[in-house]
Structure 1
Amino acid sequence: MLRFSGRGVSDVGLVRPHNEDAAFLGPYVALVADGVGGAAAGEVASATTAYAVSATALARFGDDPVEIIRRGISHARTSLRLGVQEDLSRAGMATTLTMLVCDGSRVLLGHVGDSRAYRLRDGLLTQVSTDHTYVQHLVDTGQLPREGVRSHPWRNVVMRSLDGNRDAAEVEADVVDLGARVGDRFLLCSDGLSDLVGDADIAEGLLVDDPHSAAATLTQAALEAGGRDNITCLVLDVVDGPLVVGDGQVLGALWDFANIVDPAAVRS
């Protein structure tokens, strides 16, 4: 039976006053949520989403991963909307979400925003998520060369995210079967890493054997590059083994229960 074995690190960085990243890493679900820069209550948006999605996945283990992703996102949006209704100062809060769900035989990616998922297989690093950003749109339409992305002034303009806007249409998440196999190593990260550390250095960091040491190495690389945003890195190895019962590792804004909007609103 396939499952994840890994660890993560979340760091406030060198510039931000607090951590608006939230993450969860368990044997069958892992995710990173990053409060969208400049929006109100980013830590509430990310922690609430991380809680709603991870709770849904834990409660529905063994169900179709596609359904888990969709239900998790739906529960998250319900909670985000409630959060805005309870406190209008949160209007505009939003978050990215990049998650992996394993049902024992498959690993599926659910993705909204510009946090990233990478796979290291046989020493080759591949970005398996697609950034929902304005500059990625420019790349896809041939208006910007890929090497121009990291220096573009609008590189952090996110075109798709999860928010609490009652009038917004249901967000469309990318859902992808990653064809995972034993020995694959996945990285989920916020843009606090990917904006500052290039693919070659990410690949090198992922070659560190121990997942926690690999996550710490990548986090340190982002800090040494300026650490201008919160940094969250989850490193997960796909392994084969017996069913594991348990919750998982909680990181970033998810540590503070006060950031979570009405956990009782989450239903399986």
Structure 2
Amino acid sequence: MPYVAVTALSDVGLIRDHNEDSLVVGPWTLCGTVTENPQTLLFALGTPLVVAVADGLGGQPAGEVASALVVRRLASLGPSLDGEDAVRDAMDLCNRSVYAVADGDPELTTMGTTVAGAVVLADSLLTFNVGDSKVYDLAPDGLRQVSVDDSPPPAPGRRTTSAVTQTLGGSPVFSPVTAHVSAAPLTTGTRYLVCSDGLTDPVPDDEVEKLLRAHDDGRAAYELWKAAMEAGGPDNITLAVVRIGE
């Protein structure tokens, strides 16, 4: 019987004073809090299952409000996300929801969030993102990023950039988004990683791949978190390892 195993954690890191990341796994959400250890949830394969990370915009107000709003909306929409158009509509709805909540509240003006995730269907996997949070496929021939970063090229000599060109919310006036959405066939044994840039900014992709290949889901999640912390933990770290099992 095929199933989906999702192992997730969220941590504030070593620099930030609070966690602006939020996470959704099916009907379960984790908003602005910290998990002591990786948590694993199992689901039957069939009904659309959404797994996503939303990373509230630092340097702007109420990032944790925006990210929580988005994952809770995705949790409620999850079972209806049965195709690429449904996911694009959900991203549009989430964007409009962030602006609607911020409208008229000076403390929430310009709040925004990135989002990246996957929807596991019975025979395919939809990946989506707005912003620079990431989705990876641990393919047999290497770790492959399947999300599309909404960010300008990094400056010479730098591996990453903190600038984002598209977010849910984040502007004084409404700005529409064009979500990146793609579909791929689903195969048993495949593993995916959904994460905020608090993991991938300090930890290079080759190190991420090495840790995923060396360990089972729970230990891999822990070792990825540990690698980000040992690299200075410069941002909130949220990740989910998604495995299609039999």
Q: Under a length normalisation based on structure 1, what TM-score does the superposition of the two structures give?
A: 0.77
CA distance in 2, matches of 1:171, 1:158: 13
2:122 corresponds to which letter in structure 1? G
Alignment of 1:97-246 (within 5 A): 97-122=115-140, 124-135=142-153, 148-150=157-159, 155-163=161-169, 165=171, 167-240=173-246
Is 1:54 equivalent to 2:72 in the alignment?
no
Q: Quote how far apart the aligned CAs of 1:179 are.
A: 3.0
Comparing 80-89 with 33-42, greater Cα deviation is found at 80-89
How many pairs are equivalent? 225
Instruction: Give the match's secondary structure for 1:22.
Output: strand
Structure 1 pair 209–160 and aligned structure 2 pair: CA distance change class (3 A): same
Instruction: Give RMSD over aligned pairs.
Output: 2.1
CA distance in 2, matches of 1:215, 1:82: 35
Give the % identical residues: 36
Comparing 21-30 with 78-87, greater Cα deviation is found at 78-87
Find the counterpart in structure 2 of residue 24 from structure 1: 24
Instruction: Give the match's secondary structure for 2:185.
Output: coil
Structure 1 pair 174–149 and aligned structure 2 pair: CA distance change class (3 A): farther
Indicate conservation of the 8 Å contact 2:115/2:130, yes or no. yes
CA distance in 2, matches of 1:75, 1:168: 12
1:90 to 67, 90, 108: 108
1:204 corresponds to which letter in structure 2? K
CA distance in 2, matches of 1:107, 1:157: 28
Greater share of residues in strand: 2
Q: Under a length normalisation based on structure 2, what TM-score does the superposition of the two structures give?
A: 0.84
Indicate conservation of the 8 Å contact 1:95/1:162, yes or no. yes
Ranges in structure 2 where 5+ consecutive residues have no aligned partner: 27-42, 44-48
- Structure 1 runs (4+) greater than 2 angstroms displaced: 1-4, 164-169
Find the counterpart in structure 2 of residue 254 from structure 1: none
CA distance in 1, matches of 2:60, 2:207: 30
